[in-house]
Amino acid sequence: MRICIAGAGAIGCTLAARLATSGQPVSMLARGRTLEQLLTQGVTLSDLDGEHSAAVTASNSAAELGPQDLILVCTKAPALADVLAQIQPMLHADTVVIPVVNGVPWWYFQGLTKDQSRFAGEAVKTIDPDGSLSELVPAKHLIGAVVFITATRTAPATVSSGNPHLMIMGEINHQMTERLEAIRQLIEKAGIEARATDNIRDQIWTKIVANITSNPLSVITGATLEQLYSDEHLSGLVRRILDETLLAAASHGARVRFDPQTIMDMGTGMGAVKTSMLQDYEAGAPLELANIGHAVVEMAERTGIDMPTTRHVLALAEFLSNQQASRA
């Protein structure tokens, strides 16, 4: 299988290192210093199983890498439109595209019937207002995924991760297919726990809960995951955001299988880890507030659910991001 990782950040490099060290040839779409490092030294990952270093094929040109059978799009949400446009030369009739992107996916209402959702076929306006993302990657190419990987990029193409890796995948029409199982086995062979599901949207909401309760508030407070979910000054606020999000998920028929206190305990158990959004903020990078936050509020509003605490925290995080951008 011809595999390309589009995006060489922390998650992209983690997946690339694992796949490459399992013997799978991997291509990476990258640029700048990261591309130079990939070409000269390959990709390096330090995780619970030790050190993993591997050579990969790398380029800043999708046309140079050529058609691919599987493309894992590992980019931050603000860069998604550019990356989806960039990968066009790599698509063929049977290419599978798996977006590994936080928050509500642009394709959320695609692949559904009106019996499954009264919003079937509609766009998530916060993310894809003009439908351009859906045009770039038609639904037939897509498999949804939720990745539970906490990783930090310590240098170009060099990543550290101190928690177990888990990847859950599912067809966007909730069917169990041969291509889904083949990709699951490929990921599992790479030493990543891989699961296939017949309802990827339940898993998406589980990850949304983790992201929206931690990421925006971490920008405001500078707190780690452990602090957010356990410190008496913060945990009450986190719990209110959690309750609002669980209600929004339920209004769309999604089932988050963990009870609220278990979610709080799991967050505490992640330890002194900075969220990806806090890392982006400290690096002066754009924040994924649209996918992780505002799109969730849009989903709630569609079903008449209010999220006042969540909206206020998002507004504060956006204010800080805008202030930082104005000083740049």
pLDDT at 193: 97
Secondary structure of the chain: what % helix, strand, coil (to 5)? Answer: 45, 15, 35
Active-site option among 76, 125, 207, 274: 207
pLDDT at 151: 86
Residue closest to 77 by CA, chosen among 273, 248, 321, 292: 292
pLDDT at 252: 97
pLDDT at 152: 85
**pTM of the shown model:** 0.93
Is 274 considered catalytic here?
Answer: no
Give the Cβ contact number of residue 71 at 10 Å. 27
Asked if 166 and 191 touch (Cβ cutoff 8 Å), the reply is no
> What token pair was written down for 318?
């956006």
Residue closest to 316 by CA, chosen among 285, 286, 284, 289: 289
Q: How far apart are CA 79 and CA 286, in angstroms?
A: 9
Domains located in the chain, CATH noted: 3-198 (3.40.50.720), 202-327 (1.10.1040.10)
Residue type, 124: V
* H-run or E-run covering 282: helix 276-282
Residue closest to 290 by CA, chosen among 72, 101, 8: 101
Residue 255 CA to its chain's centroid (Å): 19
pLDDT at 163: 85
Block means of pLDDT (10 residues each) for the chain, 328 residues, are 95 96 96 96 95 96 97 94 97 97 96 95 94 95 94 92 94 97 97 97 96 98 98 97 98 95 95 91 94 97 98 98 90
